[in-house]
Structure 1
């Protein structure tokens, strides 16, 4: 994108330089007398009508090195016969452009191009790794019905937005490299055709799609923040009814700013492939809502960490490593809410220059490209519920297709599910009631969170903890409330 925009700018200035040159030559034609060499524009510099001798004109101002404050001259020689001197054994006119080609400028430009190329390679690798892991994580969540709940539905849509964002960025780079591929220009007509290239509609559609999916990704990060905050504040949630609202926020809200941006670009800034935004006001039609999502999630992040800090500090006797748990929860929530982007919100190319700009750009794009991988790893591959279901399905697969199960499983089958916990709790309570010599028929057990991972064996004698109504861990529609959210969502990373 950078090399393409530079070339386009130089070609526009070259055309303006040529127009001004031809206008000046028309004015000089009637003023020159005697023996002279004809004025001309040789596709590089403007040569006036000149009397015999050495002729020097400033280097054309459309050259990029002249914009850096480097001045110089190009030279020709007008012979006594009134013709421009030619090269030896050639009909080409001699010209000395040494002062107009500064090697230092091109060396500096090559270094910057190499840094940008390295940056593109890094974020391409990041998006590719994220794309593969996200697709696998999404397939796992879709495959097992026991993992289908409001919390995981939100995770699925977040994974989907990361997938579409990665695909859009990779396709955009492919289309951009195709449109800005070097073109052979042998004459003036070729350069003029390159000056006004035909922009394919697909190129603009790619950029519109990229902005839409990036915006959808930001809004699904906002949905994760809203859901987590609502889960902590509310006692019992009606999550089935909220899911449709979350879907509308994640996939429809981006259209509310993408549509005005397309209209503004069409009528006010309809230039190129829409990959570069020259007008800050038009660009903030897209950037503004994304910044709003970031700041809302940042506030949610601070509130969650404040509640967690108070909770862990109050239970120092139980959690002696509460500072470690707090730091771990802070790092876990950053990719889920995207709060790392706040660090780069007020940093732009206008504020910083040089190597610092490239370093910050490298950090930002690398973190953004690997964010999908981190989210899939934390909220699927290391999720205790997902791992338990995978172990269970693997065990069932071995039991079904391999008769000698002991060769693979041993004597015990280890997995953690809600059903196993409920069965174990029921057996434990029935045994306790019969040992007391009576059967308590008036006891109604509430759904409870039991943070116990154990084998299906008789050796577990740890006491079970039950929560009173109002802090149950699983609502009637399959969602989660405060009991599991604080303990497992943040501290144990089982979101």
Structure 2
């Protein structure tokens, strides 16, 4: 059955927790009266048909990922829709958000088409294995772009590269290119035992998990040094305010760098009574990660809010005033501000009124 099971009395059912990628769920097998595992009879429990409670975990993942997909799509439309946001920092955000979209979409398909259909797992068609590999690849890309977020921010702060295009190219190579290496190795080795849609745990999965753990550890180093640099720049600020700014920067960077996943290995034992709380917490944390990032780095970003407000004012000037009667001609103006190179400067307090135009933020 692809796993080690504890001794179970005849007529009893053994339950075991599993981890699929970064997601947890439970499966069970029934021990028949003659002391053998029932793997094909009526008492056999598919990996997905364990209980309504366990199916609830899967539905939480699906619902959370669906919400994340919605918010990420809106955020990406904003990022791609405004020329003012064409800068290196936002470019990294775009790719991170895209990796969340692809990861969430493939996991939703995998849960819906494979995990919730035990017959598919038994039939083991080629497409379920392909979907498994695709989900693993995009999961790798997702963590790789979290690493790129830390790399980009840390590199910009210490000013290693004078040319932003070189740093951007490196991030693309790491974010979309590097994950192909462990994915190909994993696929080749796993294909030798291609059973049950590769749904069960295997030590080969550490080929995928190993780089993820390393990237998170490096991001911890980035975070420590980023906070150190921030504290250095805030030395002239009163100590209380300085501590608040440093704490806020740390909390904001945690989801961006994926450091909240450090708590996932701290799994309580099945007998502690906290196992269900842990599994649901993991379900919420992992599936809503895209939602948290899109809200913090798009919808709650003061810079983006100002751009949207200015766009609305521009729209109102163009179409609202055009409805007024007895107007022969008009010239439309809007408020524009110069965007800084890093897309993170404050807007001018006394902007000029100039004809409608877009400003571009360079890398």
What band does the TM-score fall into relative to the shorter chain?
0.7 to 0.9
Q: Contact 2:337 / 2:347 at 8 angstroms: preserved in 1?
A: no
- Return closer, same or farther for 1:253/1:236 CA change in 2, 3 Å cut-off: closer
Deviation of the 1:414 alpha carbon:
8.9
Deviation of the 1:5 alpha carbon:
8.7
Task: Please list, as runs of the form range in 1=range in 2, the aligned pairs for 1:133-152 lying within 5 A after superposition.
Answer: 133-152=71-90
What does residue 87 of structure 1 align with? none
The two structures have a TM-score, normalised by structure 2, of: 0.76
Corresponding residue SS for 2:35: coil
Task: Please list, as runs of the form range in 1=range in 2, the aligned pairs for 1:378-393 lying within 5 A after superposition.
Answer: 378-393=296-311
Deviation of the 1:340 alpha carbon:
0.8
What does residue 219 of structure 2 align with? 297
What does residue 478 of structure 1 align with? 362
Determine the C-alpha separation between the residues in 2 that align with 1:455 and 1:405. Answer: 29
Query: Which of the pair has more CA radius of gyration?
Result: 1
Task: Please list, as runs of the form range in 1=range in 2, the aligned pairs for 1:17-416 lying within 5 A after superposition.
Answer: 59-63=33-37, 113-177=51-115, 179-180=117-118, 197-234=122-159, 237-267=162-192, 269-278=193-202, 280=203, 282-312=204-234, 314-317=235-238, 320-344=240-264, 346-347=265-266, 352-354=269-271, 355-403=273-321
Deviation of the 1:455 alpha carbon:
5.0
1:434-473 superposed Cα distances (whole Å, 9 cap, x missing partner)? xxxxxxxxxxxx999864553549xxxxxxxxxxxxxxxx
Corresponding residue SS for 1:403: helix
1:388-409 superposed Cα distances (whole Å, 9 cap, x missing partner)? 2222222221111121799xxx
**Structure having the larger proportion of residues in strand:** 2
1:312-371 superposed Cα distances (whole Å, 9 cap, x missing partner)? 3x2333x75333222221110011000111222x446xx732433332232223111111
Determine the C-alpha separation between the residues in 2 that align with 1:299 and 1:125. Answer: 33
Q: Which moved more, 1:140-149 or 1:160-169?
A: 140-149
- Return closer, same or farther for 1:390/1:225 CA change in 2, 3 Å cut-off: same
4+ residue runs of structure 1 moved beyond 4 angstroms? 413-416, 446-450
Corresponding residue SS for 2:123: coil
Determine the C-alpha separation between the residues in 1 that align with 2:116 and 2:250. Answer: 42
- The CA RMSD over aligned residues, in Å, is 3.6
List runs of 5+ in structure 2 lacking aligned partners.
Answer: 4-30, 325-332, 353-359
What does residue 26 of structure 1 align with? none
Q: Which moved more, 1:125-134 or 1:228-237?
A: 228-237
Corresponding residue SS for 1:277: coil
Q: Contact 1:216 / 1:251 at 8 angstroms: preserved in 2?
A: yes
- Return closer, same or farther for 1:197/1:162 CA change in 2, 3 Å cut-off: closer
Corresponding residue SS for 2:312: helix
One of 444, 447, 454 as aligned partner of 2:349: 454
The two structures have a TM-score, normalised by structure 1, of: 0.57
- Return closer, same or farther for 1:210/1:305 CA change in 2, 3 Å cut-off: same
List runs of 5+ in structure 1 lacking aligned partners.
Answer: 7-44, 46-57, 65-100, 107-111, 183-195, 407-412, 422-445, 458-475, 480-495
- Return closer, same or farther for 1:393/1:360 CA change in 2, 3 Å cut-off: same
